[in-house]
Structure 1
Amino acid sequence: VKATNALGLLLLIVVFLFEFLKDEVNTNQLWSLMILVAITALFILFSRKQQSKYYSAFWVEALPILWAAVLMVLT
């Protein structure tokens, strides 16, 4: 589980760094990405092998909705 968490965090950092490869970096999109990367990192860090079904079914699936809400608030 620790190796999988480390891989997930590494890929999360890569996704964040890809944002800077764009021609124009929008500050609102950057802030929303930073917030979602932080929340996703917390989900990865607190994940366990034996966890409730609601953890993945609700919280992880709610991330795109949360991302859209953060973008709407920032713009």
Structure 2
Amino acid sequence: MQPDLSRANWRKSSRSGGSGGNGTGGCVELATLPPHTAVRDSKNPSGPTLVFAAERLTTFLVAAKLGSYDLG
């Protein structure tokens, strides 16, 4: 079941300035909605949102750091 995102408290890294964390404006925002965590593009808040169970988010982040996905 998809959690209700309308009341989500979105947060992004304090290292993300106006142009984003990597100089291209690319930064993500996270919202904790126990037992889930939602992730979205800070430049497109009305766009798609990924929703993970806590343990699945950890698995996804580890795999992304290891280069397991083509994030292009």
Shorter-normalised TM range: 0.3 to 0.5
Q: Looking at CA atoms only, which structure, 1 or 2, has the larger radius of gyration?
A: 1
- Hey, which of these two has a bigger chunk of strand by percent? 2
- Hey, which of these two has a bigger chunk of helix by percent? 1
TM-score, length basis structure 1: 0.32
